[in-house]
Structure 1
Amino acid sequence: MALPRTGTLHIVATPIGNRDDISARAIATLRQVAVIAAEDTRHTRPLLQHLGIDTPLVALHDHNERTAVDGLVERMRHGDDVALVSDAGTPLISDPGFRLVRAARQASLKVSPVPGASAVIAALSVAGLPSDRFIFEGFLPAKGGARKARLAELAGESRTLIFYESSHRILECLEDMREVFGVDREAVMARELTKLFETVLGAPLGELVGLVAADPNQEKGEFVVMVAGREAGEDERIAEGLRVFGILKEELPPAKAAKMAAAITGAPRKALYGA
């Protein structure tokens, strides 16, 4: 006797801006599943209407995920296919959903990806920064002190750093990066990717802060910020900077000694000020 069919959980990527970026497979999947679990049904419904899809929606977000998961898993146990979508891009990338995926896998249900748009990968592809090795940090802490502390932990990272940031904090975030990473560290800010006002600005952090501060429009929208990793050899420059600083501070005030040592050796001034 054949075992009853169980359903599949489809993890479906949706556009991050331009609706034409959705794949034919994603459209077919959203049409054929029994229900679509969406981060915000009010956001997903217009996309489905645009595509002519009338599949029922249920909400699955940070506040109800623990309670909603059991019902969705039970539906899949009884044969229903379920699609999971976020507001934009690939689900679970700084979005809810991992509890549902974990519960489905623990229940021996099939979980299948339907790949597509991802703001992280889209931004990295146009940044012109090293992309062979990178780390995604999601959103930094909202409060300045905690944000600087987290950035300080990443200051020695050699891989390209990728962050999400909101319009409310983008300038403060860039200013903190400038302070912690130094004015010369290369960075790229990708704003409103695939949308009408898409911009990609790349410059050393000292210049990038000025570009954004000078144009209020650059503080609007959704952001991916990428920062080059610490260059090989920077440890040596810091060591040499500290050596020169040690000599100069015997004759000069510490702040002036640090400034001159940084100019002579190329070591980040902040690292010498910290000494």
Structure 2
Amino acid sequence: MDIGQAEDWLLDLARRHRLSPSQRQIVQRMLGMFPDVAFLSTIEISKRAGVSQPTVTRLATALGFTGYPEFRAALREVVLSPSTAGRAAVPVPGARLPFPRHSAFDQESSNVAGLTRVARTMPAAVDALAATAPLGVVGLRASAALADYFGYFARRALPAVRVCTDAGSADDFVLHMHQEGASAALFFALPRYPAGTVSAMRLARGLGLTTVVIADTALAPFADDADVLLVAPVGTGLIFDSHAAVVVLAISLLDAIAATDPGRTQERLEAHEALVDRWVY
């Protein structure tokens, strides 16, 4: 195995496990330390990665090893395989991982291609969200930008779209949607799953609203609280999750909802286009 293959081994290992941002940062730095990384202590790695020693230790267990010694032994086995033995250390210790890395693109391409699997549940989501007025959209923390993205375009095609990205008012938001006659709500619930999202989702269901949830896996701990679960995997090959598949799913969902009333959609889009000259540069 050459140095590039050794790096790919570590990256593939990281992709198969759910890592925190700080743990991903360590992996990124370690990728620039081959082959030396297999012979460094947790103290040395923590200094080079700019994290605490316990964080390095926790990374080993997060990757499925019993502890750092077992993880380091696996690293050494990879580095000392015949194809890499005797090679000089070419990466500079502490160097950042070059961006972009092809495997991240490959993973996102696979995630987007896998969206065909939501075809079975998409019609139920479209029916529920097309029938509700107002349409409430909830997304907290990492999901806030996704909720805003969906809401920004939804307002151009649909009436009475409301978005909540504030964890402190999510329950109130759901209650107000119910009081205003909503029959369903859309939730973006991606890692790390905010407790406020799950609380609001359960409240909505308790009030009789149909809960349509976009999550990264069908095994999410709150999956049973979703009336309709739409799965869009997130990319985990970089320091932070990437949401290409979620964005494609969200805009596809909106397109399908808008298509349930094409006359209304056309009228609203034409009214929006009439305003474009007022703000476009």
Q: Give the TM-score normalised by the residue count of structure 2.
A: 0.30
Of Structure 1 and Structure 2, which has the larger fraction of its residues in helix?
2
Of Structure 1 and Structure 2, which has the larger fraction of its residues in strand?
1
Q: Give the TM-score normalised by the residue count of structure 1.
A: 0.31
